[in-house]
């Protein structure tokens, strides 16, 4: 029963099912945890040192709302070099989640339609609803590719935004250049905002990363350091796009998050010069381990990036398989957390290889039992 003081807008979605699995993990002894969506490597030492030095030298107050100059100006220079757009401005957000919240708050009016690709990151649909928007889901099963004809057909006079995530959570699928160029051009032609969530940008295993901002100068890009440098708890993200939109987001950040943590921003400036290639190479091998270990028994589209796989056991719902896996001490996330369908489940391979191998063995035995 809802308390009379609780706002109606908070009732349009439930708590994340992922959080429930995390709570369950805390209660199990030595679980085979393939549910956690964060890197298993640590923050690089030089990034830690930069944060400690910032704290010890008194950089502990509020940062500028738009971001500490040492990080913001460095980001702006990198973005200008990559895109060369006449009107592309960056600000530092309180994590990519903060960037997503501010983007929705800045752009979505009640009744506006927002196109999402199903399956989608768990936060997308609730955020659209929170600000009065209407999620329009485009089914991408079974191969999780972008069908441009479906997107074109879904656009109406009420469409405000398309939200794309590549490499994607939960599927690990990476959109190709043809798909992204077509989507960018379609958004431009139909005068619809395009938001690109690029938090998994470094984790591309087979092809170079491509941003739709390359093809559409008005694309709004959301990115950060949480995945690339394992800084999930440090809350440092950034958003870049047309100055009018970015200025609005900065204004709203002033009255909400205020700023991203200042010491972590100094560390973020160092992270920009700290390579993570060895971790990417390691995760490519983990991806291959999962694909080789499951593809003969499960339907599995080979992930091109991120650190997730989204398998399906024929003849079994995702929820049923996850329930059986949990009985065997393997923690997975049912696909219906991310989707209207309950056919798949998500696993994260951001863990030690020995844990992955144990998990593969259990999943294979369960598949044969089913």
pLDDT for the residue numbered 319: 94
The Cα 18–Cα 116 span in angstroms is 19
> Could you say which residues of the chain have pLDDT below 70?
1, 15-27
Per-residue pLDDT of 145-196, as tens digits, reads 999 999 999 999 999 999 999 999 999 999 999 999 999 999 999 999 999 9
N residues, the chain:
370
Per-residue pLDDT of 309-357, as tens digits, reads 999 999 999 999 999 999 999 999 999 999 999 999 999 999 999 999 9
% of the chain surpassing 70 pLDDT: 96
Tokens representing residue 67 in the block: 């971001």
Per-domain residue ranges for the chain? 8-43+276-369, 61-271
Q: Tell which CATH classification among 3.40.640.10, 3.40.50.1100, 3.40.430.10, 1.10.10.10 matches the domain 61-271.
A: 3.40.640.10
Query: Can you name the CATH fold of 8-43+276-369?
Result: 3.90.1150
Number of H helices and E strands in the chain, helices first, is: 12, 12
Nearest to 287 by CA among 368, 173, 190, 192: 173
pLDDT for the residue numbered 26: 63
pLDDT for the residue numbered 18: 60
Q: Inter-axis angle of helices 353-369 and 277-294, to 10 degrees?
A: 20
* 223 preceded by a cis bond (ω within 30 of 0): no
pLDDT for the residue numbered 25: 59
Helix (H) or strand (E) holding 290: helix 277-294
DSSP per-residue codes, 318-344: HHHHHHHHHHTTEE-EEGGGSSS--S-
């Amino acid at each position: 029963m809802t308390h009379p003081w609780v706002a109606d807008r908070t009732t349009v979605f439930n708590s994340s099912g992922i959080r429930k699995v995390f709570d369950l993990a805390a209660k199990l002894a030595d679980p085979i945890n393939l549910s956690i969506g964060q890197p298993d490597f640590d923050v690089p030492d030089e990034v830690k040192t930069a944060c400690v030095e910032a704290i010890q030298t008194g950089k502990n107050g509020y940062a500028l709302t738009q971001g500490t100059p040492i990080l913001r100006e460095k980001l702006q220079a990198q973005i200008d070099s990559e895109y060369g757009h006449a009107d592309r401005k960056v600000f530092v957000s309180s994590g990519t989640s903060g960037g997503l919240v501010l983007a929705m708050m800045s752009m979505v009016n009640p009744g506006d339609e927002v196109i999402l690709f199903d399956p989608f990151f768990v936060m997308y649909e609730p955020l659209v609803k929170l600000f009065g928007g209407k999620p329009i889901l485009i089914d991408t099963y079974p191969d999780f590719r972008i069908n441009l004809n479906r997107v074109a057909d879904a656009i109406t006079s009420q469409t405000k935004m398309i939200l794309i995530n590549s490499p994607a959570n939960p599927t690990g699928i990476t959109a190709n250049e043809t798909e992204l160029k077509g989507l960018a051009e379609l958004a431009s032609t139909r005068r619809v905002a395009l938001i690109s969530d690029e938090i998994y940008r470094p984790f591309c295993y087979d092809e170079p990363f491509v941003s739709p901002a390359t093809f559409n100068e008005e694309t709004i890009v959301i990115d950060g350091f949480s995945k690339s440098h394992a800084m999930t708890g440090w809350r440092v993200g950034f958003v870049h796009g047309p100055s009018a939109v970015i200025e609005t987001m900065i204004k709203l950040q002033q009255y909400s998050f205020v700023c991203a943590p200042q010491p972590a921003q100094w560390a973020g400036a160092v992270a920009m010069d700290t390579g993570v290639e060895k971790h990417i190479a390691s995760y490519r091998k983990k991806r291959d381990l999962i694909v080789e270990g499951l593809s003969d028994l499960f339907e599995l589209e080979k992930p091109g990036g991120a650190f997730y796989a989204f398998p399906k056991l024929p003849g079994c719902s995702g929820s049923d398989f996850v329930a059986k896996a949990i009985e065997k001490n393997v923690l997975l996330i049912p696909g219906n957390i991310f989707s209207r369908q309950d056919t798949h489940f998500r696993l994260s391979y951001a863990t030690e290889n020995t844990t992955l191998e144990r998990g593969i063995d259990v999943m294979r035995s369960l598949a044969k039992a089913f």
